[in-house]
């Protein structure tokens, strides 16, 4: 089962690469058809970025380490047809009147004129590209999702198998836990009800089950600290207690959630 999971993980990477290739080809086709409508807008160092839902215009500005977006043109899609039927502009307002801001306004005006002149052609070009790549994209996306669903099923089967093994162990011996990793790593907490939980569980063992098998008595060893009066410091210690009538669903959830911390 583990080998199958590894094979599926390799397969999904291949599917992701196939999807990436389709997305890259679609993006290039959009750029090739849409950017020419706005070549009169940009200055020498400007950049036009085309994505699935917008055209973004960027320009360097002195004092900034990044290029500023001075205009976005969004494609609005009719949900009933799936086609883009409107272009919406997004532009920020400013009270500045320096050279950069004034040139920005000129470029925004030129873009607005291009939209007035060519909106139908821009929308038609966009929709034609989306339609051209729809079948290929849907196919590679569905193939990727199918493998991901299979991975989820295999993981679930592995987890169920690991849990069954852990439950059998817990009926025979104490299950030991280690602290979680990280600066504040601690032993896991065991939720035994809506608001009740046992904190810092080091060990757990199932002592007996009810006749129905829906609850159990468990022995829990809890990590705590005790005061060392001789050395005047707190030292790690532990104590053990039995907890009757704990729902098996709580025990299973605790073991599943912390299976990577078991020794």
- What is the domain count for the chain? 2
Pair 206, 240 in one domain? yes
CA–CA distance from 96 to each of 64, 93, 111, 207 (Å)? Answer: 16, 9, 20, 76
Residue 71 backbone phi and psi in degrees, to 5: -165, 140
Tell me the average pLDDT across 95-119: 92
Pair 33, 105 in one domain? yes
pLDDT tops 80 at residue 184: no
Q: What residues make up the domain containing 250? A: 173-261
pLDDT at 138: 95
Total Cβ atoms within 10 A of residue 232: 7
Pair 138, 233 in one domain? no
Rounded percentage of the chain residues whose pLDDT exceeds 90: 73
For residue 206, count CB atoms less than 10 angstroms from its CB and return exposed for 0-12, middle for 13-18, buried for 19 or more.
buried
**Does residue 96 lie within any of the structural domains?**
yes
Tell me the average pLDDT across 170-190: 89
Q: What's the pLDDT band for 257 if we cut at 50, 70, 90?
A: confident
125 CB-near residues (< 8 Å, 6+ apart): 33, 34
**Does residue 108 lie within any of the structural domains?**
yes
**Does residue 74 lie within any of the structural domains?**
yes
Pair 139, 222 in one domain? no
List pLDDT tens digits, range 47-66.
999 999 999 999 999 889 99
- Structure tokens, 84: 């883009």
Tell me the average pLDDT across 139-157: 92
H or E segment at 85?
Answer: strand 84-90
Pair 22, 147 in one domain? yes
For residue 195, count CB atoms less than 10 angstroms from its CB and return exposed for 0-12, middle for 13-18, buried for 19 or more.
exposed
**Does residue 167 lie within any of the structural domains?**
no
pLDDT at 1: 66
Q: What's the pLDDT band for 240 if we cut at 50, 70, 90?
A: very high
For residue 5, count CB atoms less than 10 angstroms from its CB and return exposed for 0-12, middle for 13-18, buried for 19 or more.
middle
**Does residue 160 lie within any of the structural domains?**
no
Tell me the average pLDDT across 127-144: 95
List pLDDT tens digits, range 12-39.
999 999 999 999 999 999 999 999 999 9
pLDDT at 259: 87
């Amino acid at each position: 089962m583990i080998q199958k999971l590894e094979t599926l993980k390799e397969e999904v990477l291949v599917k992701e690469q196939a999807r990436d290739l389709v997305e890259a080809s679609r993006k290039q086709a959009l750029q090739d058809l849409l950017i020419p409508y706005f070549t009169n807008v940009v200055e020498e160092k400007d950049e036009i970025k085309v994505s699935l839902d917008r055209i973004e215009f960027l320009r360097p500005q002195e004092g900034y380490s990044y290029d500023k977006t001075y205009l976005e043109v969004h494609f609005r899609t009719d949900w009933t047809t799936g086609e883009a039927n409107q272009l919406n502009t997004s532009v920020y307002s400013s009270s500045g009147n320096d050279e950069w801001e004034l040139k920005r306004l000129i470029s925004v005006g030129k873009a607005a004129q291009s939209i007035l002149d060519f909106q139908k052609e821009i929308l038609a070009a966009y929709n034609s590209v989306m339609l051209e790549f729809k079948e290929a994209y849907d196919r590679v996306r569905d193939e990727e999702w199918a493998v991901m669903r299979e991975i989820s099923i295999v993981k679930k089967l592995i987890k169920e198998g690991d849990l069954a093994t852990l439950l059998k162990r817990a009926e025979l011996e104490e299950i030991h836990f280690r602290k979680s990793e990280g600066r504040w790593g601690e032993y896991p907490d065991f939720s035994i009800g809506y608001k009740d939980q046992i904190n810092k569980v080091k060990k757990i063992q199932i002592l007996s089950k009810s006749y129905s098998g829906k609850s159990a008595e468990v022995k829990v060893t809890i990590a705590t600290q005790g005061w060392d009066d001789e050395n005047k410091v707190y030292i790690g210690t532990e104590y053990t207690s039995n907890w009757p009538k704990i729902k098996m669903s709580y025990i299973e959830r605790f073991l599943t959630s912390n299976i990577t911390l078991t020794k």
